[in-house]
Amino acid sequence: MIGFFIIFSISGCDLSITDHAKDPGKLHASSSVNVKDKKQRHFNKEITISAIGDILIHSRVYRDAKTEDGYEFFPMMDEVRSQLSSSTITIANQETMIGGVELGLSGYPQFNSPTSIGDTLKELGVDVVTLANNHTLDRGLEAIDRSIKYWDKIGMKHTGAYTNKEASEKILTYHTEEGISVAILSYTYGTNGIPSPDGKNYVVNRINYQKMASDIGKAKKQADSVLLNLHVGKEYQPYPSDYQKQLARFGADHGVDAVIGHHPHVLQPLEWVEGKNGNKTLVIYSLGNFFSGQNPFQTRIGGILTFSLKTTNDEADPIVAANPTFEITFVKSDGEHRYEVVPMHKISRLSQEYENKKKHLSQWMPDLQFVE
């Protein structure tokens, strides 16, 4: 599923917390929705953002994670923890609801996952999960409610799915200690034909140009930078559709700093898209699967996109995305056992496929650097 960078803020009363999963100086998450005075920007400041694609917990994956005490996913992703935990803000697309065992676990086509996947992401250094995707409504409102309650319990910020209208109208914004605030938005193309319940269209953000323009406008008033996450595109296609490109252009024209896509389950290229005001928006059309039980070779390849958000002295474009890097990852398994996410460059037998994937990702962005 494809996601684009738009950063939505989930707010409430004035509240700041420090994410314990990362360095103490990393960031504060604020639910404040007060409009920020643009004159208070801190110049010559820089933070890093990391983003990973689909976390899609098939039944064979949670069976492999089963222990006497529950489900343990951390060993399956520990190999990539250092990269995820080193950024100021790390964002993951949590494709399956974590309604827990009480609701009944299930895999494809209607997913419900153990809550412990949330604990694992938190421990790995993830700060925000995007929840707007085609599987959001798989198990109904109870799964959404249970999931959001658990995300709140462990202190994980989330956006894209909601339990009430008031929450859906707030923009999720991070205020970092470096002095740069970031709004994160999340939308999906659809929900596999499952409609939102009558009177509850707010439960999941759907891609709608008018709504997204309004949300971006609100986000820009309260944050220095806006990231747009879009779950959209044709599954298993190595290149973006015309619709994906239109959405990326929309984001650039509205001044978002990055558009992050997911849904196709395979990696698609990155590029810089110039907006109507001359700004440049960082776009990755699909981050692919980060962790799933899908078997086809290309669906096992994902990665970690990392880039900087830097202040400038240009009043027309005071924050810019810069210095994108990418670490390509691969989901190993022995049949339906021993699932593990590892840096792909460490698998010597896949060296040629790895080089091919680097060329594929960077064909529209020759300056893209790879972590290896």
Residue 314 has what pLDDT? 82
pLDDT in tens, 155-204: 999 999 999 999 999 999 999 999 999 999 999 999 999 999 999 999 99
Cis peptide before 75 (omega within 30 of 0): no
pLDDT tier at 313, thresholds 50, 70, 90: confident
CATH among 3.60.21.10, 3.90.180.10, 3.40.50.11540, 2.30.42.10 for 16-370: 3.60.21.10
**Largest Cα–Cα distance in the chain?**
57
Q: How confident is the model at residue 78 (pLDDT cuts 50, 70, 90)?
A: very high
Whether the predicted pLDDT of 20 surpasses 60: no
310, β-bridge pairs: 46, 320
Domain boundaries, the chain: 16-370
The predicted-structure confidence for 84-132, as pLDDT tens digits, reads as follows 999 999 999 999 999 999 999 999 999 999 999 999 999 999 999 999 9
Three-state secondary structure of the chain? CCCCCECCCCCCCCCEEECCCCCCCCCEEECCCCCCCHHHCCCCCEEEEEEEEEEECCHHHHHHCECCCCECCHHHHHHHHHHHHCCCEEEEEECCCCCCHHHCCECCCCCECCCHHHHHHHHHCCCEEECCCCCCCCCHHHHHHHHHHHHHHCCCEEECECCCHHHHCCCEEEECCCCCEEEEEEEECCCCCCCCCCCCHHHECECCHHHHHHHHHHHHHHCCEEEEEEECCCCCCCCCCHHHHHHHHHHHHCCCCEEEEECCCCEEEEEEEECCCCCEEEEEEEECEEEECCCCHHHHEEEEEEEEEEECCCCCCCEEEEEEEEEEEEEEEECCEEEEEEEHHHCHHHHHHHHHHHHHHHCCCCCCEECC
Tokens of 283: 């776009």
Quickly state the pLDDT bin for 22 (edges 50, 70, 90).
low
Mean per-residue pLDDT for 53-64? 99
- pTM to 2 decimals? 0.89
Average per-residue pLDDT in the chain?
91
**For residue 12, is pLDDT > 60?**
no
Give mean pLDDT, residues 203-212: 99
Given the DSSP bridges, would you call strands 172-175 and 28-30 parallel, antiparallel or unpaired?
antiparallel
